[in-house]
Amino acid sequence: MFYNLLSALIFASFAFFLGTAHYPIYFWPLMRTKEYKLEQAINRAGIVQADVQSPGLKV
């Protein structure tokens, strides 16, 4: 019984840490789309996409 509880606790802690690691990467931009789009517009302000696009691909 103890080993089943220990295994469940290890699995639950792994799932918890995986979820907390993915929150700022994946879930935060999904829940705050306006803020994320504004931040991306500021970050990409001086970049011309044609200059960074691979040759032969449409812009």
pLDDT per position in the chain (59 positions), as tens? 778 999 999 999 999 999 899 888 888 888 999 998 998 899 989 888 878 888 877 76
CB 50 within 8 A of CB 59: yes
Show me where the domains of the chain are located.
12-37
pLDDT at 15: 95
pLDDT at 17: 95
CA pair distance 26, 19, nearest whole angstrom: 10
pTM for this structure?
0.48
pLDDT at 59: 61
Q: What letter would DSSP give residue 58?
A: -
CA pair distance 28, 42, nearest whole angstrom: 18
